[in-house]
Structure 1
Amino acid sequence: MLDLTKLARQMQGLSEHLTSEATASRQRLELAQQHLQRAYECQQELIDNQEKWRDRILFANATPIEPLETRITIPVPPKVHTVVSTDGSQIAPNHHEIAYCYLLNFGRVVLHYGQNLHPLLDSLPEVFYRPEDLYVSRKWGIRTEEWMSYCRTSSETTVLAELACSVKSDVPILAMVDGSLIYWFLEQLPMDARDRILPPILSAWEQMREAKIPIMGYLSASRNVEAMNFLRLLACPHPAPDCVTHCPNQLEYVPCKIFESLRDTSLWVSQLQPGQRGPLWRSNARILDLYGEQIVYFCYVHVGTEIARIELPAWVVEDSTMFDHALGLMLAQVQKGYGYPVAIAEAHNQAVVKGGDKTRFFALLERQMIKAGIKNVGTSYKEARKRGSIA
């Protein structure tokens, strides 16, 4: 139980710390705005340096493929369209439960606008209990709980592609996912493990490309700094941005880290008006080397309530009509959802496994085990004791 009386004594120190951080953040923002203005005049020179020294730069940075002063008002979407989204949730394996297994639940949403069609809102559960599902990750040193989340990410995209391509319609369709299309966690995985996660995702993308259905990653409250790091090339005091030679230890003081802890969204909120997008960027994340031709681009959009990071594969960006329709449908979704895309929110609501659902799942499993003749079915004493209290 949380003792609020003891906690209140620490609040004063926390508030003072946050006040000083806010002041420092404003100063970093002013400095970043100055560097952005300077970068307008030498953008191509910075890009040339970035390309020339890319193997020597030790921080993640993106490349602007449009002028940095780009401010484009997102076009109004067509009234007749369809939006598809999926999201996932899970019940993690627990040795103290009646059986060691896990469940993935995928929320599926199809919303039709201007077509007089019923929406689809349901979920697709899947139980994993075989040894090859539970213990395959052990040989790579990956815990089952972590592997479960990686598999969920891959399956979410597969389910999304199947769902989007099953919609028989000649109207614009947008497939949306919550979060990034750049799967950073793959960097820490062995190659054999990556080969089980990434190929199904890229295959699903290819399926949607052939069906001419754009896929979009929507990031709310993004913490990315790839665009800010492009400005670090301008702030570098050395003749060339050769981090390996001049600043090999990025954890120590680095002269170009004058924007440290300043996110991309902090800069673009001062640059964009509601309904506008900034320049398009190409991500240079090293993990994208495994994506082949499926390079990921992104832009920042003022959706009215916040600055959202929008990520799209190359084949969406290269089709200007598809790109404009995708952004327009995204903005309409945010407006319909009062600040957050309604399709993504509903997919989450369909996917989430609540406490009562978990209890019913294990109750159903218990009945099946008893029916199969298994004896001594029940939770561990530890789990049973934690569910009740004598205090």
Structure 2
Amino acid sequence: MLDLNQVTKLLPGIGEHLREEAVAAQKRLELAQGLFETAAQRQEELVAAQEQWRDRIWFSAATPVEPLQSQILLQRPPSVHTVIATDGSQIAPNQHEIAYCYLLNIGRVVLHYGQNRAPVLDSVPEVFYRPEDLYASRQWGIRTEEWMGYRRAVSEAQELALLGVELRRQYPELPLLAMVDGSLIYWFLDSLPDEARDRILNPILDAWERLRGVGVPLMGYLSASRSREALSFLRLEACAFEQPNCLSYCPYIAPTEGDVLGKRAPCQVMEPLRDTSFWGGLLQPGERSCLWKSSLPVLGLYPNEQTVYFCYVHVGTEIARVDVPAWVAEDSDQLEAALSLMLGQVYKGYGYPVSLAEAHNQAVVRGGDRQRFFALLERQMIEAGLTNVGTSYKEARKRRSIA
């Protein structure tokens, strides 16, 4: 049990630390604003330098594909449109339960506007219990629990594609938007062995390609994003040398190491300022920033038409990062239409896209659901003639506290 009296004694130090950080953050913000203004005047030059020295730059900086100082007011969504979304949850495998297996539950939402049609609010469960599902990932040194999360990303993309293709078949001219919670950049893929990576990324890209084939724009919505990808472009302006040749002039300093130990390259003067903090001082409600092309290394695994672009949008309650694949970003009409539908979703959800919130609610597995799942599994095992069915003594004891 948490002793709140002890916790209370620790809080004054936290408050003082946060006050000092707020003062330092304001100074970093003012510095970033100055760099932004000068970089806007030299944007083409900086982009050319970034491309020329890309293989000599330690950090990943996104590339602006519109004028840096763009502040574009988003359109109102059309009165007739449909938004689809998926999200996932799971029951993790537990060696102390009656059977070693895991469950994925993918929440699906279809919200129709101006059409007098009932919404779709449901979920699709899937249970994994075969040895090839439970242990195959261990050949690559990946824990089953970790692999389960990767499989969930695949299932979310596949269910979203199924919904999008079916709706487009039924309504060829209907404005549609497909949304997922989080980034379209699966950074975890970078550390996976090739075979494991292919089993995750290829089905996801296939699902995206199906959406592209029927003209349903895809969007990833990030609330409270911690990214610095756009501000990293300003490091080219802050560079103290004639060329941004990190390999020759600056030792590699990991972002986390620089934050904790105070080690800085000359261009790291803004860190750890985040993109959202910076654009919060520039954008007005309903406006978006310029469009950026991400240059994270993992995107080298994506085909060109599926690489990821992003922008920041003032949705009223926060600055949200919005990811789209290249085939959406490069079609300006489709991009602006998709952003207008997204903003309408945020307003309808009082600060967060209602379709994503409902997809989460459909997907989430609560404590009672977990208990009922294992009760059903236990009954099935008994009917199959198995004996000694039950949880481990450790798990049973943990569920009956003497306190």
- In the alignment, what sits opposite 2:301? 290
Runs of 4+ displaced beyond 3 Å: none
Q: CA deviation at 1:198?
A: 0.4
Q: CA deviation at 1:229?
A: 0.3
Alignment of 1:1-391 (within 5 A): 1-167=1-167, 168-169=170-171, 170-251=173-254, 252-293=263-304, 294-391=306-403
Amino acid at match of 2:273: L
- In the alignment, what sits opposite 2:259? none
Aligned positions, number: 391
Amino acid at match of 2:360: H
**1:85-107 Cα shifts (integer Å, max 9, x gaps):** 00000000000000000000000
Q: TM-score, normalised by structure 2?
A: 0.96
SS of corresponding position for 1:226? coil
Amino acid at match of 1:279: C
SS of corresponding position for 2:84? strand
Amino acid at match of 1:309: R
SS of corresponding position for 1:127? strand
SS of corresponding position for 2:15? helix
Question: What is the rounded CA distance, in whole Å, between the counterparts of 1:211 and 1:19 in structure 2?
Answer: 51
**Is the contact between residue 47 and residue 63 of structure 2 (CA under 8 Å) also seen in structure 1?**
yes
**1:160-210 Cα shifts (integer Å, max 9, x gaps):** 001111112121000000000010000111111100000111111110011
**1:290-313 Cα shifts (integer Å, max 9, x gaps):** 111211110000000000001101
Amino acid at match of 2:219: M
Question: What is the rounded CA distance, in whole Å, between the counterparts of 1:218 and 1:102 in structure 2?
Answer: 27
SS of corresponding position for 1:238? coil
Amino acid at match of 1:122: D
Mean Cα displacement is larger for which, 128-137 or 162-171? 162-171
**1:36-72 Cα shifts (integer Å, max 9, x gaps):** 0111111111101100000111111100000001111
Q: CA deviation at 1:238?
A: 1.5
**1:366-385 Cα shifts (integer Å, max 9, x gaps):** 00000000000000010011
Q: TM-score, normalised by structure 1?
A: 0.99
Q: CA deviation at 1:140?
A: 0.7
Question: What is the rounded CA distance, in whole Å, between the counterparts of 1:25 and 1:71 in structure 2?
Answer: 23
SS of corresponding position for 2:316? coil
Question: What is the rounded CA distance, in whole Å, between the counterparts of 2:356 and 2:54 in structure 1?
Answer: 36
Question: What is the rounded CA distance, in whole Å, between the counterparts of 2:108 and 2:93 in structure 1?
Answer: 23
Amino acid at match of 1:176: M
Amino acid at match of 1:227: A
Q: CA deviation at 1:123?
A: 0.4
Q: CA RMSD in A?
A: 0.7
Unaligned runs of 5+ in 1: none
Mean Cα displacement is larger for which, 69-78 or 102-111? 69-78
**1:95-151 Cα shifts (integer Å, max 9, x gaps):** 000000000000000000001111000000000000000001101111000000011
SS of corresponding position for 2:86? strand
**Is the contact between residue 218 and residue 325 of structure 2 (CA under 8 Å) also seen in structure 1?**
yes
Amino acid at match of 1:95: Q
Amino acid at match of 2:198: D
Question: What is the rounded CA distance, in whole Å, between the counterparts of 1:328 and 1:111 in structure 2?
Answer: 15
Q: CA deviation at 1:255?
A: 1.1
Question: What is the rounded CA distance, in whole Å, between the counterparts of 2:349 and 2:280 in structure 1?
Answer: 21
Unaligned runs of 5+ in 2: 255-262
Amino acid at match of 1:357: D
Q: CA deviation at 1:253?
A: 2.3
Question: What is the rounded CA distance, in whole Å, between the counterparts of 1:367 and 1:248 in structure 2?
Answer: 61
Question: What is the rounded CA distance, in whole Å, between the counterparts of 1:340 and 1:42 in structure 2?
Answer: 36
Question: What is the rounded CA distance, in whole Å, between the counterparts of 1:113 and 1:107 in structure 2?
Answer: 20
The alignment-based identity, stated in percent, is 64
**1:322-362 Cα shifts (integer Å, max 9, x gaps):** 11110000000000000000000000000000000000000
Q: CA deviation at 1:249?
A: 2.2
